[in-house]
Amino acid sequence: MLIHHRQPFSSFGLLDYDQAPVGLFTVLSINEPVGDCAAYQGVGPFNSDEAMIERIKAGGQKISEEDAKDRFPEIEEMGLRYRR
């Protein structure tokens, strides 16, 4: 299961009509059968959510357990262990 948050970066009106805004994606990857999770961050365009979320999961930078718990209450709610 994947849960994600998106935070847009301000473009200040500089984007052309055919350009997508970019932002910071934070993705929580949950392995339900095992009961653990890990969270990753990366920057990407907002035009393709599913593909971008998979890319961030595969190649994003892993964030700390503390940061992940601050962003994703699901970790505590589901009683998940954080992968280190």
Q: Is residue 16 part of a domain?
A: no
Q: Is residue 43 part of a domain?
A: yes
Domain count, the chain: 1
Residues 6+ apart with CB under 8 A from 52: 25, 44, 45, 46
Q: What is the pLDDT along the chain (84 residues), one digit of tens a residue?
A: 777 778 877 766 666 766 677 889 999 999 999 999 999 999 988 777 788 888 898 999 999 999 999 999 999 999 999 998
pLDDT in the model for residue 18: 65
pLDDT in the model for residue 15: 64
**Tokens at 11, concatenated:** 């473009």
Q: How many CB atoms lie within 10 A of CB 36?
A: 15
pLDDT in the model for residue 3: 79
Report pTM: 0.82
> Which residue range is the domain that position 46 belongs to?
2-8+21-82
Q: Is residue 13 part of a domain?
A: no
